[in-house]
Amino acid sequence: MITNGKLLFLCAATATLIAGCGRGTPPPAEPLINQTEVDLPEEITVPTETAPPAPTPTATRKPFDQDSIIQLVPERAFSMGAAVRAVSISSDGVLVAGASGDDQSYEIGVWSLESGEQVVAMEGHTAIIWDVAFSPDGRYLASSSKDYTVRVWQVSDGAQVFRFDAPGEITSVAFTPDGRYLAFGGVENWPVAAVWVLQVDGWSQIAKVAEGWNIPAIVFTPDSRLMIAGGISRNMRAWYIPEGSEVYRLYYPGQVYDLALSPDARVLASAPCILSSANQCAEVELWLRDSGTGEVLKQVSAGSSAVQALTYSPDGGLLVAGNQVGWLQIWAMPEARPIGVLQLHPGTVEDLAFSPDGSRLVSAGSDGTICVWRTP
């Protein structure tokens, strides 16, 4: 049995600043290579209503900044029975949920971020659980799975309150920031993929939009009006919600596994593989686009390992990426200046999430652990 103390030691042991060590070659600190840029736009062309006020943080520590992010400290760790595929933090910063799975084991757990105690577990999926997401009010947790279902759970007691049976595996799930809609994406009829949009009140379908191959990422603008999704087909598409009308389509030279939208909704970040060798990613770039028009603003080298997870800090000052060899890559924003590279897990960093106050970073690993990192 692996104790929490041993798990915490594992997290602590892997959190090391990389300087020419580890598998592959980490991205250089300076200069930025293969970089092109244009001035950031003053405004984007999609609606940008004021987002709801942030919840009162539960922690008193300062948020991560450019100095503290490279000195992050392991606070606690949670163990799951298989590779942890996704994590989600409730909007009040109180709870963290993790989803895991392989061919034999699959589970969802919810823990207190402050105390580390497990609050509830959700049981019902029969295959790998690819994604989880809290509703903005913290009442529900949605999950998507290889078992061709999307399920919605009541966080208070783990009871299943809704189930959607899809024609194929569903790999991503997200609530709109206003909590009115639930979107999930995956295979409809290979090679066709789709994103379904349901109204939370009554769980009725209000839209379905088509994409290709599979849907690993879905993001919404803070006003819940624009949805951007896709990735495996080397495309990303944007639609207005709830009507489902397409706004634009973005093309990439390689597959994209995650998206991150800046807190001000102006910049869409992704990290496509731009060069492959022997069916393995050999070169990755960080792409920054105007989220309103899709125009490429900047391209920055991001090493040689495929990026699985990408997220902004709540204040927008940091962008972090987790890749298939366990690194955390960090850029100062909006200039996309590389700050450093840390080893977080011995295997793939599957997902990343900042707490709402920015003082914690949670990572999900293919080693079966969820690590909670705090500021020094």
| Token pair belonging to 81 | 């029975």
Residue 199: count of CB within 10 angstroms of its CB: 14
| Token pair belonging to 178 | 């206003």
**237 domain-assigned:** yes
Strand, coil or helix: 106: strand
**231 domain-assigned:** yes
Question: What is d(CA 230, CA 261) in angstroms, rounded to the nearest whole number?
Answer: 14
Per-residue pLDDT of the chain (376 residues; tens, 9 = 90+): 344 554 554 575 555 443 322 223 333 332 222 333 333 333 333 333 333 334 444 446 899 999 999 999 999 999 998 999 999 999 999 999 999 999 889 999 999 999 999 999 999 999 999 999 999 999 999 999 999 999 999 999 999 999 999 999 999 999 999 999 999 999 998 899 999 999 999 999 999 999 989 999 999 999 999 999 998 899 899 999 999 999 999 999 999 999 999 999 999 999 999 998 888 888 999 999 999 889 999 999 999 999 999 999 999 999 999 999 999 999 999 999 999 999 999 999 999 999 999 999 999 999 999 999 999 9
Please state the domain count of the chain: 1
In order of 18, 118, 235, 277, 350, the CA distances from 24 in angstroms are 11, 36, 27, 14, 18
Burial of 289 from C-beta contacts in 10 A (0-12 / 13-18 / 19+): buried
**144 domain-assigned:** yes
**124 domain-assigned:** yes
Question: What is d(CA 373, CA 298) in angstroms, rounded to the nearest whole number?
Answer: 29
**309 domain-assigned:** yes
For residue 14, list its beta bridge partners: none
**320 domain-assigned:** yes
Residue 188: count of CB within 10 angstroms of its CB: 20
pLDDT at 277: 82
**53 domain-assigned:** yes
Closest by Cα among 371, 264, 297 to 328: 371
pLDDT at 9: 41
Buried b (16+ CB within 10 A) or exposed e, 65-87: eeebbeebebbbbbbbebbbbbb
pLDDT at 79: 94
Residue 345: count of CB within 10 angstroms of its CB: 26
pLDDT at 41: 34
pLDDT at 117: 96
Domain containing 119: what range?
18-374
**3 domain-assigned:** no
Query: For the domain that residue 318 is a member of, what is the CATH number?
Result: 2.130.10.10
Closest by Cα among 195, 221, 296, 215 to 256: 215
